[in-house]
Amino acid sequence: MSTVRKTITVTEQQDSWIKAQISAGAFTNDSEYIRDLIRRDQSEKAERETICAALIEGEGSGTSDRTPDDIINAVIEKRRKNGTL
């Protein structure tokens, strides 16, 4: 993957924060930290879009005739079958 050089400006407080993250061993340099922030932002945006799409789908599916307990029990049963409970 090719890279593109960017120049950014941060406040002294932000620079201190970045340096602290590097000093703590979380990152090796400023670029690595900024790339990590971008990746996390991209991931969070994708997650928000997925949730939003699910909400829109749910709103469009109409009113359920199941009780809240029915729904909770169905989720629990599904998780048991998937091995996630």
The number of angstroms, rounded, from the C-alpha of 43 to the middle of its chain's C-alpha atoms is 5
The Cα 75–Cα 52 span in angstroms is 20
- Parse the chain into domains and list their residue ranges: 12-82
User: Would the CA dihedral through 73, 78, 80, 84 be positive or negative?
Assistant: negative
Amino acid of residue 76? I
* Tens digit of pLDDT at every position of the chain (85 positions): 899 999 999 999 999 999 999 999 999 999 999 999 999 999 999 999 999 999 999 999 989 899 999 999 999 999 999 988 7
State pTM to two decimals. 0.69
Confirm if 10 and 18 have CB atoms less than 8 A apart.
Answer: yes
Amino acid letter, residue 59: E
